[in-house]
Amino acid sequence: MSERDFLLLDGDCGLCHRLATFLDKRLSRGQDIGYRPINSEDAQTMIAKLPQKYQDADSVYLIRNGNAYIRSAAGIRCLLYMKWYYKMWFPLFWLIPLPIRDIGYRLIAKYRHKFFNRPKECLFRID
pLDDT surpasses 60 at 125? no
Burial state string for 24-52 with b = 16 or more CB within 10 A and e = fewer than 16: eeeeeeeeebbbbbbebeebeebbeebee
Tell me how far apart the alpha carbons of residues 28 and 87 are, in angstroms, rounded to a whole number: 9
- Phi/psi-derived region of residue 30, left when phi > 0, alpha when psi is between -120 and 50, beta in every other case: left
Task: Evaluate whether residue 61 is within a structural domain.
Answer: yes
Task: Evaluate whether residue 90 is within a structural domain.
Answer: yes
pLDDT score at 122: 59
Task: Evaluate whether residue 120 is within a structural domain.
Answer: no
Task: Evaluate whether residue 65 is within a structural domain.
Answer: yes
Q: How many domains does the chain have?
A: 1
- Residue 6's pLDDT band (cuts 50, 70, 90): very high
Tell me how far apart the alpha carbons of residues 43 and 59 are, in angstroms, rounded to a whole number: 12
pLDDT surpasses 60 at 127? no
Q: SS3 letters for 96-115?
A: CCHHHHHHHHHHHHHHHHHH
Question: Which residue range forms the structural domain that includes residue 95?
Answer: 6-115
pLDDT score at 20: 87
Task: Evaluate whether residue 39 is within a structural domain.
Answer: yes
Task: Evaluate whether residue 122 is within a structural domain.
Answer: no
Q: Which residues pair with 94 in a beta bridge?
A: none
Q: Return the axis-axis angle of helices 14-25 and 98-115, rounded to nearest 10°.
A: 110
pLDDT digits (tens, 9 = 90+) for 48-74: 999 998 988 888 999 998 899 999 999
pLDDT digits (tens, 9 = 90+) for 69-99: 999 999 999 999 999 999 999 999 999 999 9
Structure-model confidence comparison of residues 114 and 121, the more confident one: 114
- Would you call 82 helix, strand, or coil by DSSP? strand
Mean pLDDT, residues 120-124: 61
Angle at CA 89, nearest 5°, toward 114 and 51?
A: 65
Residue 123 DSSP class: -
Give the chain's mean pLDDT: 87
- Residue 121's pLDDT band (cuts 50, 70, 90): low
- Would you call 34 helix, strand, or coil by DSSP? strand
pLDDT score at 56: 87
